[in-house]
Amino acid sequence: MSEKYLIFGATGSIGSSLSRQLKESGKEVHLVARNESEVKKLSEELGCSFTVADVLENGFVDKVKADVPDIKGIAYCVGSIVLKPLRMIKEDEFNQCMKLNCYSALEVIRGYQDTLKKSKGSVVLFSTVAVRRGFSNHGIIASAKAAVEGLTVSLASELAPNVRVNCIAPSLSKSKIAEPMLKNAALAEGIAKAHPLKRVGEGADSASLAKFLITDESSWVTGQVIGVDGGRSTLS
């Protein structure tokens, strides 16, 4: 049975850090991302295989499975930051965010459930601190990520004892999708100060926990939603 780990959103801050950490620990990884030049560059750096696929496109799971049919674990590191007040939210963008963050993750797990069961595998999904904390203008993304948390505990129950499913809920971390918010020095400083640990997250912060959860190091952990948020969800 394969010991390969499948990383969706592999070129993002968390996905790339997780891929590096897994490779450094001797694990085999397969990268999945929509930007061909970026994922090819990362695959050459790490010496691993990859698939170019967009999780919003029909048939993307079959495309990935054609390249890597058997796996040990999945990290769905795909995400988005959609901030709009209630009056500006449109149904199509709400549905797209839900598909990107939640339904496509479900499709991946469903497509690989048989091989995950055989390998006693693990799935790691990603939420956001905004599910637990109420933030203005987060109606779209907080709803989508709340669905991810519900999916986590539901599938953890359904797939036990053969597959573990856990979720990480980061606060804002340095990444390409967060760059519009963090490029303003004053705004970035204010966001950092809002966290008890007084800094913005790094991709490696969440990736380190993801590495633990996706491997057998966490063999007695399932159905958990764990914050990696500098204390933002509980202390401020």
What average pLDDT score do residues 104-113 get? 98
5 has which bridge partners? 29, 73
pLDDT at 113: 98
Residues 152, 59: Cα–Cα separation, whole Å: 23
- Does the pLDDT of residue 48 top 80, yes or no? yes
Q: What is the mean pLDDT of residues 23-37?
A: 97
Give the H or E element holding residue 168: strand 164-170
Give me the mean pLDDT over the 90-98 stretch: 97
User: What pLDDT shows up at residue 175?
Assistant: 80
**Confidence band (pLDDT; 50, 70, 90) for 232?**
very high
pTM of the shown model: 0.95
Residue 208 has pLDDT above 70, yes or no: yes
Q: Which CATH architecture has domain 4-172+203-235?
A: 3-Layer(aba) Sandwich (3.40)
**Mean pLDDT, range 192-218, rounded to an integer:** 94
Q: How far apart are CA 151 and CA 51, in angstroms?
A: 25
For the chain, give every domain's residue range.
4-172+203-235
Cα angle: 157, vertex 158, 159; to 5 degrees? 95
Angle at 3 between CA 35 and CA 11, to 5 degrees: 15
**pLDDT grade, residue 1 (50/70/90)?**
low
Q: Return d(Cα 47, Cα 140) in angstroms, integer.
A: 37
Hey, how many other C-beta atoms are within 10 angstroms of the C-beta on 197? 15
72: three-class secondary structure by DSSP: coil
pLDDT for 215 equals: 98
End-to-end CA distance of the chain: 45
pLDDT at 2: 67
Q: Which is nearest to 145 in space by CA: 56, 81, 204, 55? A: 81
Looking at every residue in the chain, the average pLDDT score rounds to 95
Provide mean pLDDT across the span 137-162. 97
- Residue pair 30/66 in contact by the 8 Å Cβ criterion: no
Q: Could you tell me what percent of the chain has a pLDDT over 70?
A: 99
Q: Mean of the pLDDT values across residues 176-199?
A: 86
* Mean pLDDT, rounded, for 91-111: 97
